[in-house]
Structure 1
Amino acid sequence: MSGAPQEALVGALGAGRMGRGIVLAFALAGREAVLLDIKPREREALAKLKAEAEAELRASLATLVELGVVKAEVVEAVVSRVRIVGRDEAPAWLGRLGLVFEGVPETVDAKREAFDYACRFLPEDALLASTSSTILSTELAALVTRPERFLNAHWLNPAYLIPLVELSPHPGTAPDATRRMTEMLEAVGKVPVVCAAQPGYIVPRLQSLVMNEAARMIEQGVATAEDIDKATRYGFGIRYAAMGVVEFIDFGGADILYYASGYLAKALDDSRYACPPIVERKMAEGNIGLKTGEGFYDWRKVDQPAYRRQALARLTELLRMNELLPPDGERRG
């Protein structure tokens, strides 16, 4: 597969919120991007859609200006990098694209129609990705021509602001396609991760468990919504922003997770809290994390005092940004 350059023209197929967020992400990074609406529309309806899409782009940019993320003087330049085109113009633009993100409604029929249309005009070496949050790349790959260039790319809203993009190739995706997609996303400041074609990607699978447990605790009278949210913002969330979940297991030790899980499973009489077999294997092998040199990560060549200091520094910086640092030790009043 020939490699499209990192500066290849980018398009979003589907002019809804996800498509708008994606083209804005690229425009903010100085890239030209095309928002393609391929639904047959009367001229007046298309004009209304274009106006609504541009208004949303400008509203998002106005918020970023207000928050000090971008300067007011760059807004017009950013907006000018986005072209919004309808079905009549779409074929010519599709023929120029090196990377396309499909973001039409979450039905197989809608995606089949979009892929049928796009694949008629796309260059053979153009990368094609679906932003689907529910339909696996293994299923969608059958709907495209040259499936070796296809994978899922799951963005989190707002797409122009959240760095993460979860890439999910199917078994037939060419490794070069995943590499090129990764490079293109990194070039505009995104943080791509790769996961297998399984339901839920990474983030939705984790967050669904957390959100359901929060609702369950309210139902059981464990805590109020307000206190659960305080606990999340000032304890749970800020720690995992400074350190990844798996890194945190190794940092404290898988033994802590193992014993805490066993206690909760028994005390709450709920097998949901039991450890998975991989944690039990780590315990049996004695590879429980940082303190033993091996865990989910290999820590044997890591300068542990330096690493611990870096981890604390990341947490401290997050606390400082949120004005949550502890008192400085001086007497007050």
Structure 2
Amino acid sequence: MASEAATPGSPPARTEIIGIVGAGRMGRGIATSFALAGHKVRLLDLRQREEADFARLSRQARDDIARDVDFLREAGLVDAATAASVLADVTIARAAQAPALLADCDLIFEAVPETLPAKADAFAAIGAHARAQALIASTTSTIDAETLAAMVPDPGRFMNAHWLNPAHLVPLVEVSPASSSDAALVEKLCAMLRSIGKVPVVCRSSPGYIVPRIQALAMNEAARLVEEGVASAQDVDTAIRVGFGFRFAVLGLLEFIDWGGGDILFHASQYLSGTLDPRRFAAPEVVARNMASGRNGMREGKGFYDYAGVDLGAYRAGRLSEFLALLRHRDMMPVIRGPQE
């Protein structure tokens, strides 16, 4: 039965010090997330820069964080005092300060550009200066955790943690251990993420992890629709926002298969693979296996999820209530006539 992957926990007993190596957009978003939750953050830029260049980078980073926090203040989520303390809790530093600052950190994220040389340089610095008990995580969306683990001294404390932009708002963090990762430390990282309101999911090391892999297929297909003249860019995006997006903000993709029936997906995939592209639209083997074993979803009591003992009426009503709440929020409720005269 589908449920939320996690819920925010209570704040940790002590305030951890968070190190972030890489002061770009992702590093700034992660810094904001932890500072909002009351943690001290060390945001480190490891590039060798002239003083004026670093001053400009530091100013840009601080302006970006201030802008995001000010937006939350205007939305009524933080007060002025909290906003000021968030900015005060983020230290932006250059490479020369790394030895002293990294030595104090309990958790260190690598957030440098997505190239192996940049990652190797970052992990060399982290390995040289991090204390033995510190957790170490990359934030890569593309490079598998096994490759990066080899760059980290004591790889048992390493794992990947892929955040989605804007990192200070999107709840999801995809945590991907390497084969060498200590399972207890993976759960420790997940607990720390939950404590700041994030929803971690754990997946094995695989190119694209979860969201980037699904997202790449969807974005490429949207671009093909425009390329083939099926619809305008505006109409494709409208269809995604008010159709696709609404449904999958409430139901997960696999939950949705169970909701409608795996056999429906199978037959739709057969038609699309026969008329458009046999490789791109073919259903995976698991869909055919589920059909053969009578696991088509809710109507058969099992699919990707097991619905044994589930009150399906209450389950449907709960999901539809969430859907209605989104429609009301977006002022997109259907027109409903009043009483007849």
Q: TM-score range by the shorter chain?
A: over 0.9
Q: Identity, % of aligned pairs?
A: 47
SS in 2 for 1:298: coil
Cα distance between partner residues in 1 of 2:325 and 2:176: 32
Cα pair 1:6 1:184 within 8 Å, conserved: no
Q: In the alignment, which of 324, 330, 333 is matched to residue 338 of structure 2?
A: 330
Say whether residues 1:189 and 2:188 are aligned partners: no
Q: Which runs of 5+ in 2 are unaligned?
A: 1-11
Pair 1:87–1:267, CA change in 2 (3 A) = closer
Residue aligning to 2:7: none
**Partners in 2 of 1:5 and 1:124 — Cα distance?**
21
What is the aligned counterpart of 2:91 among 67, 83, 87?
Answer: 83
Aligned counterparts of 1:6 and 1:170: Cα–Cα separation in 2: 28
**CA displacement 1:27-55 (0-9 Å, x = unmatched):** 11222211112333344433332222111
Q: How does 1:242-281 map to 2 (within 5 A)?
A: 242-281=250-289
Give the alignment's Cα RMSD to 1 decimal.
1.9
Give 1:81 deviation, angstroms. Answer: 1.4
1:64 is paired with a residue of what secondary structure? helix
The aligned residue for residue 293 of structure 1 is 301
- Alignment deviations for residues 200-252 of structure 1 (CA, whole Å, 9 cap, x no partner): 11111111111111111112121111111111111111100011101111111
Deviation at 1:317, TM superposition (A): 0.9
Count of aligned pairs: 330
What does residue 177 of structure 2 align with? 169
> 1:108 aligned to 2:116?
yes
Q: What is the one-letter code of the residue matched to 1:40?
A: Q
Segments of 5+ residues of structure 1 without an aligned counterpart are: none
Taking the aligned partners of 1:65 and 1:185, their CA distance within structure 2 comes to 22
| Counterpart Cα distance in 2 of 1:268 and 1:17 | 38
From 186, 189, 193, the counterpart of 1:178: 186
Secondary structure of the structure 1 residue equivalent to 2:141:
coil
Q: Is the Cα–Cα contact under 8 Å of residues 6 and 187 in structure 1 kept in the other structure? A: no
Is it true that 1:35 corresponds to 2:43 in the alignment? Answer: yes
Q: Partners in 2 of 1:128 and 1:211 — Cα distance?
A: 31
Partner of 2:125: 117
- Name which structure has the greater RCO, CA cutoff 8 Å, separation 6+: 2
Task: Tell me, yes or no, if structure 1 residue 12 matches structure 2 residue 11.
Answer: no
| One-letter amino acid matched to 2:32 | L
Q: Within 2, Cα distance between the matches of 1:44 and 1:201?
A: 38
- Matches of 1:130 and 1:49 in 2, distance apart? 22
State the Cα distance separating 1:263 from its structure 2 match.
1.6
Cα displacement (A) at 1:331: 6.5
1:47-68 per-residue CA deviation (whole Å, 9 max, x = no partner) reads 3322221111112223333444
Deviations 1:95-125 (A, max 9, x none): 1111011011111111111111111121112
